[in-house]
Amino acid sequence: KAGVTQTPRYLIKTRGQQVTLSCSPISGHRSVSWYQQTPGQGLQFLFEYFSETQRNKGNFPGRFSGRQFSNSRSEMNVSTLELGDSALYLCASSLRVAGGMYNEQFFGPGTRLTVL
């Protein structure tokens, strides 16, 4: 079974630009979560999508948004980039059990975003 894939793997942008990152979950996984990882703040939850709907959102500004398609693939968008947005953006997919606890997350390799 193929793992979680993320594209692109590396990205360099300048302040004020916007960026779109893509994530393809493991086949059969309908839940996709996004995380930001930085040396200073660690791993922080951005949002979770399930059945094309955002189910949970972390404490990030509205510049961070996402969406999920009918095939469970997900994209996240960051508008008006700031220097502090430089980070590794990780996508994770999981089997979501209705009413159940959080299942194990299968992480992709991440997209390394550098904002200059």
Site of interaction with another protein (CB under 8 A):
33, 35, 42-45, 48, 55-56, 58-59, 90, 92, 101-110
Which residue has 């968008």 as its token pair? Answer: 77
Q: Is 41 exposed, middle or buried (0-12, 13-18, 19+ CB in 10 A)?
A: exposed
Residue whose CB is less far from another protein, 22 or 105:
105
Spatial distance between the Cα atoms of 99 and 97, rounded to a whole number of angstroms: 6
| Nearest distance from C-beta of residue 8 to another protein, angstroms | 15
Residue whose CB is less far from another protein, 15 or 43:
43
Residue whose CB is less far from another protein, 3 or 16:
3
* Beta strands at 74-78 and 87-94: parallel, antiparallel or unpaired: unpaired
| Nearest distance from C-beta of residue 71 to another protein, angstroms | 21
Residue whose CB is less far from another protein, 17 or 91:
91
Which residue has 């893509």 as its token pair? Answer: 22
| Nearest distance from C-beta of residue 15 to another protein, angstroms | 26
| Nearest distance from C-beta of residue 39 to another protein, angstroms | 11
* Cα R_g (the chain), whole angstroms: 14
Spatial distance between the Cα atoms of 40 and 32, rounded to a whole number of angstroms: 24
